[in-house]
Amino acid sequence: MRRIFTYIHQQKDWPRFTWDDQQLLSMLGKVRHLQGKLIGKMEGLGFSLREEASLDTLTLDVLKTSEIEGEVLDMKQVRSSIAKHLGMNIPGLIKSDRNVDGIVQMMLDATQQSNKPLTVQRLFNWHAALFPTGRSGMYKIVVGKWRTGPMQVVSGAMGKEIVHFQAPDEKKVSKEITEFIKWFNKKDTIDPVIKAGIAHLWFITIHPFDDGNGRIARAIADMQLAKSDGSLQRFYSMSAQIKIERKKYYETLEKTQKGKLDITDWLSWFLNCLMSALAVTDKTLVRVMAKVQFWETHGNTQLSSRQREIINKLLDGFDGKLTSSKWAKITKCSADTALRDIQDLIAKDILRKELSGGRSTNYLINI
């Protein structure tokens, strides 16, 4: 017999959420400590370092919030689009597709303009930016307006579908969003980080659009986290950590939406995920600092465009091991030219041969 669920938005007191402050207090304290430590560390660095770290974080955020929904974007296009929209003068910028520019514009508007109020028109603008062609994949969708039909999150083969969640009736969407926006913009005594977790859950429960609800919910959470940081620059990516914890993310959402209005478990997961995101940032910061310091050391070193391209790839975290054949393929040059480029960098003490060797000689960067 199929069990009939009463969803969270069907509860009598919806949306009067409750949670156990005592259960969350320790986690919230750790999150606030990590936030303060990170922002303090970044403020002590030079402008170029902060700018580079923020660019890396925003790029990661855009890539991962899309990957959570199964959409893989081109990293170079995302990075170029963010740099252009922020007016950053960095080498190697390329042209980006409309769908890339759209999600970049949404994420930047959410984080760089976090102190501006959330409005219906702003949400419509974000949605239109996400779907510039008016389609989600092959399917035409209603863009820049609330959905006009029922919304279910379903998995499984036809005839054996499993309904994970059913959103409020389409006739209720406008009223639900009005109440959500009023709460989101209101100054209250809720801790800003807790408010980010509630906002994420509340918006995704309403599910007001035909598509893109998850990405917009995460943008709203990032908007609130930017307020809690007191900084327009982003130095950690919640979406990147959610991507790692994707299975648990969906499981916790589904359990919460089929539960009561006590959302302690959801907020506990949200705070733990945020803690992990903040911890990972230390590694990102080390890499960014190494990259800036490298170019400060080698700013006057004579290098070809090919050499600069590969060096930047190594500094950004090269996928796999660098060989002369990979060099030739990436830079579209001959094998002889690739070897000469590499030998020149070894002579300049920028590259070294990996001692383990193997069938192919691999090269590492000296940092």
Task: Tell me the domains of the chain and their CATH numbers.
Answer: 8-290 (1.10.3290.10), 299-365 (1.10.10.10)
Peptide bond into 15 cis (omega under 30): yes
pLDDT at 208: 97
pLDDT at 157: 61
pLDDT at 158: 65
pLDDT at 156: 61
Identify whether the C-beta of residue 214 lies closer than 8 Å to the C-beta of residue 16.
Answer: no
What residues in the chain have per-residue pLDDT under 70? Answer: 1-5, 155-161, 284, 356-359
pLDDT at 213: 95
- CA dist., res. 85 & res. 71, Å (int): 22
pLDDT at 257: 93
Identify whether the C-beta of residue 339 lies closer than 8 Å to the C-beta of residue 361.
Answer: no
Between the alpha carbon of residue 240 and those of residues 2, 21, 64, 65, the distances in Å are 36, 27, 5, 7
Structure tokens at 218: 């995460």
Cut 0.85: pTM above it: no
- CA dist., res. 11 & res. 13, Å (int): 6
pLDDT at 152: 80
pLDDT at 238: 94
Q: What are phi and psi for residue 33, nearest 5 degrees?
A: -65, -45
pLDDT at 223: 97
Closest CA to 218 of 162, 277, 160: 277
